[in-house]
């Protein structure tokens, strides 16, 4: 039940961007906006899951059992670290995002 609630909170946070106004003049445009916001929420959850997995692998290599145990309380539906009001460019990057490098740069004690 908590997972469903977390997902709906994320969807509401996305909807609050631009003043909770539906974008569209007809039912088709509103439905398209809803599907886009659903896609955006799912992308955020996927990104967080990949990041949490990379952090788990790093902690398993370090044999940090205490931090591994605490890691399971972090939700992949969290969005506090994502700027919903930012500008994002989806052009091709010269290099892929290295999730292991990103996970290694996160201070686990600050997260927990």
**pLDDT (tens digit, 9 = 90+) per residue, 36-52?**
889 999 999 999 999 89
pLDDT of residue 21: 66
Longest dimension (CA), the chain: 55
Q: In this model, does residue 108 exceed pLDDT 70?
A: no
The mean pLDDT value of the chain amounts to 81
Q: Are 45 and 77 in contact (CB under 8 A)?
A: yes
Q: Are 45 and 10 in contact (CB under 8 A)?
A: yes
Q: Are 33 and 22 in contact (CB under 8 A)?
A: yes
Q: List Cβ neighbours of 58 (8 Å cut-off, separation of 6 or more).
A: 100, 103, 104
Domain residue ranges of the chain, discontinuous segments joined by +: 2-111
Residue from 61, 20, 59, 57 nearest 37 by CA: 20
């Amino acid at each position: 039940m908590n997972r469903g609630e977390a997902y709906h909170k994320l969807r509401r946070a996305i909807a609050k961007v631009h003043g909770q106004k539906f974008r569209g003049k007809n039912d088709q445009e509103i439905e398209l906006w809803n599907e886009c916001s659903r896609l955006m929420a799912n992308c955020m959850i996927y990104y967080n899951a990949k990041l949490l997995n990379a952090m788990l692998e790093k902690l398993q290599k370090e044999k940090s059992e205490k931090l591994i145990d605490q890691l399971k309380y972090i939700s992949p539906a969290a969005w506090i670290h994502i700027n919903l009001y930012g500008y994002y460019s989806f052009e091709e990057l010269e290099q892929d995002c290295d999730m292991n490098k990103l996970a290694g740069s996160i201070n686990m004690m600050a997260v927990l």
